[in-house]
Amino acid sequence: MAPLYLLLLLILPSLLAAPACAEEVPDRYAVLQAPRAAAAKEYLDPTFPLPQPPPAAPSCTVPVLSYSFGDTYGAAPAKASYAPPAGCPAPWSLVVLTFSASCAGDQYDRVAAVWLDGAELLRTTTAEPTPEGVRWTVRKDVTRYSALLRSPPGGVLSVMLENVVNDKYTGVYSVNVSLEFHGTPPYLSDAAASSSSPAGVASNDPEAPMLPDSYFQPADLIIPISDGIGNGKGGYWFRIQNASDSHSKFVTIPSSTYRAVLEVFVSPHSNDEYWYSNPPDIYIKENNLTTRRGNAAYREVVVSVDHRFVGSFVPFPVIYTGGINPLFWQPVAALGAFDLPTYDVELTPFLGLLVDSNAHEIGLSVVDGIAEWLVDANLHLWLDPSTSDVHAALGSYQTPRLKISRQYSTRLLEGRFKIKAKRRSSFSGWVKSSFGNFTTEVETELKATSLVEFTGDGKNKTVSLEAKQETKTLIRADTRKVIGKVEREAKYPLSLFTETEDGENGTSLITVTLSHGLSVETETETRAFESKEKLDDRQTAEGWMVVMDHDVVNGSVATTQAYRFSDEDREYERTIDVMDGAVLSDNVTESFSALAGAGAADACWRCRGRSCDGAGAAACRVHAGIAALQGPDQD
Ligand SMILES: *[C@@H]1O[C@H](CO)[C@@H](O)[C@H](O)[C@H]1NC(C)=O
Ligand SMILES: *[C@@H]1O[C@H](CO)[C@@H](O)[C@H](O)[C@H]1NC(C)=O
Ligand SMILES: *[C@@H]1O[C@H](CO)[C@@H](O)[C@H](O)[C@H]1NC(C)=O
Ligand SMILES: *[C@@H]1O[C@H](CO)[C@@H](O)[C@H](O)[C@H]1NC(C)=O
Ligand SMILES: *[C@@H]1O[C@H](CO)[C@@H](O)[C@H](O)[C@H]1NC(C)=O
Ligand SMILES: *[C@@H]1O[C@H](CO)[C@@H](O)[C@H](O)[C@H]1NC(C)=O
Ligand SMILES: *[C@@H]1O[C@H](CO)[C@@H](O)[C@H](O)[C@H]1NC(C)=O
Ligand SMILES: *[C@@H]1O[C@H](CO)[C@@H](O)[C@H](O)[C@H]1NC(C)=O
């Protein structure tokens, strides 16, 4: 994941001939000689299976790009032209981006992204190949980018995958990107029209104001907050090098904007790839260590408008497929590695600063960040179809100070570094559009506790991160009555124990126990509907590996993956047990309750050919064996 670091490695091989030092663990590794008898050819990342498009919906698949990424470090992204399919016009019920890749040889994991006219659609990282070859497919619901897909300003899709190919690292990544469009069949659009007001029209009953339907639909306009320098040469992402390295873009938004959300994409690399396990500089200095993975273990991504803080988040500590122990991630990729989480920051309270037809500066930075972070964002805007004269003003703005306490103790290579961080912010602002005068209040509380501890003369390392972010958004009508409420809680627990022992011939034996989670709960309540979504994705892994330089030469591991998603009408669970690259069990359980306004038949079509227990609460059950590696959604 660290092109710059790798370059150093190539130029100064002698510096890296020493065995992995304790302070360098975790590190990035490529699996060169580990036993591969059981190595899988197909990698996977269990996620909720994308909804099947409704029956009889017209659908079209547009192959957009096909490219082999050889020695591409520093090169311009691969580009292809894109136009929406004539046979499947918008509005779409579902749009899916498919990124499929294959690679054979030896290679590190690499970062990649897909942009449409500079707006990012997918941030991903690659699996590490074997000489026999591996492949995998990422499928992402990109319906929220409908505005851009419908009328792309330039019609250029770009893919950047920074790879380095030489005598030792031979793997070339072949990538295909396609887009799949599903229309809305007439029986559904008729049902939608009769069950609620038409899109974009709010209730005109002054006694019972409502959010317009368009509020919860894909935005009307998406403006990239990305690096367009040299037409995206080197990728459209901003490269953030340190805590004071803020990157920004000036944007002028339409004066009909009534809602704004900034969606941020981030991935840490090089010295910050394992930011959650970095010791403070004092430890590195006192021990005369050469590592540059420092600056302690707290990071927070901050968004600003005209240099004013408007939101922040602790990024999910994503692990790439070469990270910590690459054998853990064969063939189940680490959480989010194939489709990195993005982070939405509600900017509606700040529309008062933005809708004046002037250019405003949207900035991105990383608290305590060191080289390097790849960061960019999409500004999603919802427009009032009836007036281009929206008025807005910022109301209360509670200066959101970061409270951070650090307790450090060191004695030579032993040390204990604890950080507690907390940030609470509360903003409100009103927006008067043709829908009414709505006030949006956003309250956020972010709490993180991080511990990095070295014991046993630095040979043992314990890392733990508990990050939790709660966001509550209330939308009030002129009457002060709450007409919309969204509550979201995200938690990212990570714990890691590593023991390093010196082996023979300059090797190290590294034993790791890991537990990692991504849990997000979202509750939405409006006068028209209520919804509750819960995602809980967890991995535990343990095992050992023998490493020589950055190569894994032997090892044995076991990983358990448990993915759970539920909302008011379904529950989906997939658990996978893996040992030394072989899938021991892959169990899927799904159940559906009756959908509001739809009969069991509708619930049953979701079972997609699997047995359906019909009636009121339809349930489909699958017990997949080892063969069902691709998951039930791809059958
Ligand atoms: C990409 O598409 C081509 C043509 O359909 C196909 O031969 C190739 O196997 C695909 N590669 C991947 C990685 O999916
Ligand atoms: C931060 O990074 C920027 C961009 O590389 C550089 O110009 C600046 O000098 C750096 N600042 C510090 C304090 O290192
Ligand atoms: C670090 O280097 C300095 C200067 O060479 C030396 O005095 C000190 O003892 C070294 N510290 C350790 C822990 O090796
Ligand atoms: C909109 O509502 C807010 C809060 O009630 C009020 O302060 C503001 O004056 C109203 N704006 C307009 C244009 O009516
Ligand atoms: C490291 O941790 C392991 C497992 O807890 C323990 O057995 C071992 O003694 C520790 N090593 C050192 C050098 O403290
Ligand atoms: C260490 O290297 C020597 C000489 O190349 C070799 O004979 C020996 O088998 C190696 N030991 C291990 C454990 O790989
Ligand atoms: C890998 O480790 C296993 C178990 O310790 C051992 O039997 C095997 O010989 C090792 N393989 C290599 C290539 O060193
Ligand atoms: C999958 O189901 C089988 C049979 O019920 C069970 O033995 C196994 O432990 C399950 N695997 C997981 C990962 O839950």
SS3 350: helix
Q: Which string of DSSP letters, residue by residue, matches 67-101? A: EEESS-TTSPPEEEE----TTSPSS-SEEEEEEEE
343-367: pLDDT as tens digits: 999 999 999 999 999 999 999 999 9
CB 399 less than 6 A from any atom of ligand 3: no
Q: Which string of DSSP letters, residue by residue, matches 472-538? A: EEEEE-TTS-EEEEEEEEEEEEEEEEEEEEE-GGG-EEEEEEEEEEEEEEEEEEESS-EEEEEEEEE
Q: How far is the CA of 505 from the centre of ligand 6 (A)?
A: 6
Lowest-confidence region among 267-276, 332-341, 591-600: 591-600
Amino acid at 163: N
Is the predicted pLDDT of residue 137 greater than 50, yes or no? yes
Q: How far is the CA of 588 from the centre of ligand 8 (A)?
A: 10
Contact criterion met (CB below 8 Å) for 240 and 375: yes
The rounded distance, in Å, linking the Cα atoms of 505 and 497 is 25
Contact criterion met (CB below 8 Å) for 545 and 552: yes
Residue given tokens 């069950």 in the structure block: 195
Q: How far is the CA of 382 from the centre of ligand 4 (A)?
A: 20
**Mean pLDDT calculated for residue range 149-167:** 96
Contact criterion met (CB below 8 Å) for 355 and 392: yes
Nearest CA to ligand 3 atom 6: 288
The 10 Å Cβ neighbour count of residue 365 is 22
The rounded distance, in Å, linking the Cα atoms of 356 and 390 is 9
Say which ligand is closest to the CA of 430.
4
Q: How far is the CA of 417 from the centre of ligand 3 (A)?
A: 21
What is the pLDDT at residue 56? 75
CB 391 less than 6 A from any atom of ligand 4: yes
Is the predicted pLDDT of residue 140 greater than 90, yes or no? yes
CB 242 less than 6 A from any atom of ligand 2: yes
- Expressed in angstroms, the distance from the first to the final Cα of the chain is 32
Q: How far is CA 138 from CA 111, 183, 186, 629, in A?
A: 14, 22, 30, 14
Nearest CA to ligand 8 atom 9: 585
CB 440 less than 6 A from any atom of ligand 3: no
560-572: pLDDT as tens digits: 999 999 998 889 9
CB 194 less than 6 A from any atom of ligand 3: no
Contact criterion met (CB below 8 Å) for 98 and 7: no
Is the predicted pLDDT of residue 21 greater than 90, yes or no? no
% of the chain exceeding 70 in pLDDT: 84
Lowest-confidence region among 26-40, 83-97, 251-265, 545-559: 26-40
Is the predicted pLDDT of residue 8 greater than 70, yes or no? no
524-539: pLDDT as tens digits: 999 888 999 999 999 9
Give the ligand 6 atom nearest the CA of 505. Answer: 1
CB 459 less than 6 A from any atom of ligand 5: yes
CB 573 less than 6 A from any atom of ligand 8: no
In b/e form, how buried is each residue of 171-190, taking b as 16+ CB within 10 angstroms? bbbbbbbebbbbbbbeeeee
The rounded distance, in Å, linking the Cα atoms of 86 and 44 is 33
Q: What pTM does this model have?
A: 0.90
Confidence class for position 189, pLDDT limits 50, 70, 90: low
**Mean pLDDT calculated for residue range 310-315:** 98
Q: How far is the CA of 583 from the centre of ligand 1 (A)?
A: 25
Nearest CA to ligand 3 atom 5: 288
The rounded distance, in Å, linking the Cα atoms of 376 and 262 is 10
263-296: pLDDT as tens digits: 999 999 999 999 999 999 999 999 999 999 999 9
CB 432 less than 6 A from any atom of ligand 4: yes
The rounded distance, in Å, linking the Cα atoms of 630 and 588 is 12
Beta strands in 270-386 (DSSP E): 300-305, 308-313, 343-346, 360-367, 370-383
CA dihedral over 449, 455, 457, 461, signed as positive or negative: negative
The rounded distance, in Å, linking the Cα atoms of 297 and 418 is 9
Q: How far is the CA of 585 from the centre of ligand 8 (A)?
A: 6
What is the pLDDT at residue 35? 56
416-432: pLDDT as tens digits: 999 999 999 999 999 99
Comparing 610 with 105, which gets the higher pLDDT?
A: 105
Say which ligand is closest to the CA of 580.
7
**Mean pLDDT calculated for residue range 355-381:** 97
What is the pLDDT at residue 527? 86
Q: How far is the CA of 625 from the centre of ligand 8 (A)?
A: 10
